[in-house]
Amino acid sequence: MSTLAHPPPLEVELEAIVRQRQEWLDRLKLDFKEEMLFELEILLKGLDRFFNIQNLPIANMEQVVSFNFLSELEIVQGFVDRVTRLAQRLLEDSHRHDYQFRRYVEAQLLDDLARNRWREVSLRQDRPEDSLFLLYSSFLNLREIVHGLIQLKRVPYSLFYNLGSLISREVASNRFFSPVGEVMFRPEYDRIGNRLISRIVKAISDPELQKGFSVVLLAFYRLLHYLHFIDPQTDQPETLKSSLLFFALIASEARHLTEFMERNLAQNLKRNPHPRTPEFLGLADSLAFQIGMEMKKIYQTELQKTAQPADPDALRTAIENSHGVLQNFFQQSIVLLVRLFAPELQGEDIFTSFVSKRQQSLKIREDLWVFRALMDKFEEITETSIQGATLSTYIKYLHLQKTFIRYLERETLPLLRYGDLIEFRKYFDFIQSLSPDDLHLMDRLDRFKMESKFFKIFVETTLGHLGNRAELQDLPLDEKTAEMRLKRFITREIAVHR
C-alpha cells in the first residue's frame, strides 16, 4: 500500500524561504543591499495595492465609471521601470555570469521545446536567484505592456483593473520576493534602532503581551518608514503625483493594522493575566479608531485634489499636508505605546522632530484665535459704519483672509480633527475661489458677508472645544501676544500691497 507524500506545513516552508533568503543576502557583495531589497519589496507591495480603488482618492464608484486612469498608469510605468532596474542590479551582483549566460541562451540558442524546459526550471524557483530572474523577466514584459497602454488617450477602469491583476499575480507567485505573503516583518530592515525602546520591549515579562506589543509597535514603525519614500518638497510634479502609490500602500497596511488591533489582538490576549493587558488593549482600540479618522482626513480632503491633474502648488500642498498628518499621527502613536510601559519617556527621546499634543493644541488655538479676531475686526467695521463699508474695505478683507488661509492650510489644517476639517475646507475653498472682481457683483458680495459671518460662529465653537482639551486646562491663551500678532499681520500685508 503506497503512502501519499504530504507537502511540508506552511510554517516549515516559510522558515526555509526566510533562511535561504538570508543566506543569499549574506553572500551578496553589494553596498546598501538591505535598503535596495527593502525598496524592491515596498514597490512590489505598493503596485499590488495601487490597483485597488479603495486605496485611491476616488470619491465613489460612480466616479470610477467616468474616471480616466491614464495618470495612474503613468505612475505605474515609473515604478515598473524602477522594479526592473532594482531586480537587474540585485541579480547581476548575485550571480552576474550565470544571469548573463541564461539571458543569452534563452534569447538566442534554444529552440521552442528546450526554451520551455528552461523556463520550467526557473518557474520552480529553487533558489532566490531563480525568483529574482523570474521577477526581472516578468517586469521586462510588463514594462513594454504599460508603455503601450499609456499611448492611449483614455484608460478605463476595466483596463486598469486587469493590468493590476496581472501585476498582482506575478508578485504573489514569486517564491522568495513576494511581500504579500504570510511573512509580516523582515528581520533585514524591520528593526527599531532606538535602544530605549528595545530595552522596554525586552523588559515585558509576559511572552504573549510582549509579542502583541511588538507587532503593533513594528507596524507603526513600518508605516513611518513608508513615508520616507515620499518627498513633499520636490519640484517635480511627476514625483509628487507618484506619492499616491505610497499613500495607497499606507492606506492598505493601516486598514490591516486596524483589523488586527480590533479583532486579533483582543482574541490573542483575552486570557492574559498581565496587569497591563487591559490598558494596552484599550490604547490599541483607541489607535485603531484614530487610524480610520486620520486616513479619512487625508483621503476625503487633501488627496482629493490629486485625483485629476491639478496645479503644482495645490498638488504639493496636498502631498505635504497628507505627509505631515500621517507622520505626526504615527509618531504620536508610537510615543503613546511606549509610554504605556515607560511613562517617564518624552516624545523627544524617541523622535528629534517630535511635536507634543500640547504644543499642537497651543498652535491651533492661537492660530484660530487670530483668524477669528481678524473676522471680528472687519465685521465690526462693516456693521458700525454709518454709510456701510466701502467696496475697497471688502476687497482688503478678502485679501487678508486669503493670505491667512494659505498659512492655515499649510501649518494648521493638518493638525485639526477630521470632524472640524470638513467645514474649514469647505469655507477655505469658497474664499480662495473668490476674486476682487466678484465683489463688484451684489449677490457675490452678499454671500461673502454671510458665509464669513456664519463661519466665524463655527470658529468660535471650535475654539470652545479646544479650550476643553485636557492638555490646555492649565494654559490660558495669552491674548495680548495674539493681538500683537494680528496687528503685525495686518500692518505687514497692507504695507506690501499699498
Q: Rounded to whole angstroms, how far apart are CA atoms 218 and 215? A: 5
3-state secondary structure of 7: coil
Quote helix, strand, coil % in the chain, to nearest 5.
75, 0, 25
Percent of the chain with pLDDT over 90: 41
Could you tell me the three cell numbers for 284? 490599541
Question: What are the residue boundaries of the structural domains of the chain, listed by start?
Answer: 10-172, 195-350, 357-496
The DSSP call for residue 305 is: G
Q: Rounded to whole angstroms, how far apart are CA atoms 259 and 246? A: 20
3-state secondary structure of 173: coil
Residue pair 412/369 in contact by the 8 Å Cβ criterion: no
Within 8 A by CB and 6+ apart from 225, the residues are 189
Q: Rounded to whole angstroms, how far apart are CA atoms 136 and 403? A: 50
For 285-325, write each residue's pLDDT tens digit: 999 999 999 999 898 888 887 766 567 777 888 898 899 89
Q: Rounded to whole angstroms, how far apart are CA atoms 390 and 68? A: 47
Could you tell me the three cell numbers for 434? 473668490
The DSSP call for residue 276 is: T
Q: Rounded to whole angstroms, how far apart are CA atoms 214 and 191? A: 11
Q: Rounded to whole angstroms, how far apart are CA atoms 274 and 204? A: 10
What local confidence, expressed as pLDDT, does residue 469 receive?
Answer: 84
What is the sign of the dihedral through the CA atoms of 354, 357, 361 and 364?
A: positive
Q: Rounded to whole angstroms, how far apart are CA atoms 498 and 493? A: 8
What local confidence, expressed as pLDDT, does residue 109 receive?
Answer: 47
pTM: 0.80
Q: Chunked in runs of 10, what are the mean pLDDT values of the chain (498 residues)? A: 49 79 86 89 94 86 84 94 92 62 50 54 77 90 94 93 94 87 60 82 89 92 92 86 94 94 88 85 94 90 72 82 91 93 87 82 92 88 64 88 91 83 88 91 90 92 87 87 91 74
Q: Rounded to whole angstroms, how far apart are CA atoms 159 and 157? A: 5
427 HSE (CA, 13 A, CB side): 23
How far, in Å, are 206, 331, 336, 354 from residue 195 at the CA level? Answer: 20, 16, 17, 17
For 159-183, write each residue's pLDDT tens digit: 999 999 999 999 999 988 888 754 4
How many CB atoms lie under 10 A from the CB of residue 160? 22
Q: Rounded to whole angstroms, how far apart are CA atoms 414 and 151? A: 37
From 234, 225, 178, 227, select the one nearest 47 (Cα to Cα): 178
